[in-house]
């Protein structure tokens, strides 16, 4: 029987969480890019991505959910405003 050490589990969770956060941002930017000049579709996509991101933070019991969600939303809104 293999017993996992707590520090290795914590490292794996941190790495997975980081990869998921990067994936959320990259996926959102690709979707927004594909939507072209359709502002309503872009805003709906931003809303959906921010809601899923916040839900993901809650499920993984991450701290500072409000701060992380606000920063994520700000990046996406800046991306929408640029296009």
Q: What is the DSSP letter of 29?
A: H
Decide: helix, strand or coil at residue 64.
coil
pLDDT tens, 3-49? 778 888 888 888 888 888 888 888 888 888 888 888 888 889 888 98
Of the chain, the percentage scoring pLDDT greater than 90 comes to 1
Say if residue 52's pLDDT is above 80.
yes
pTM: 0.70
Domains of the chain: which residue ranges?
Answer: 6-82
d(CA 56, CA 68) in angstroms, rounded, equals 11
Q: Which of 65, 33, 30 is nearest to 50 (CA)?
A: 65
């Amino acid at each position: 029987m293999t017993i996992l050490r707590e520090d290795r589990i914590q490292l794996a969770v941190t790495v997975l969480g980081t990869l998921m956060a990067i994936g959320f941002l990259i996926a959102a930017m690709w979707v927004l890019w594909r939507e072209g000049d359709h502002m309503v579709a872009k805003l709906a996509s931003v809303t959906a991505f921010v809601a899923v991101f916040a839900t993901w933070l809650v499920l993984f019991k991450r701290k500072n959910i409000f701060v992380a969600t606000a920063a994520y939303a700000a990046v996406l809104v800046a991306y929408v405003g640029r296009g």
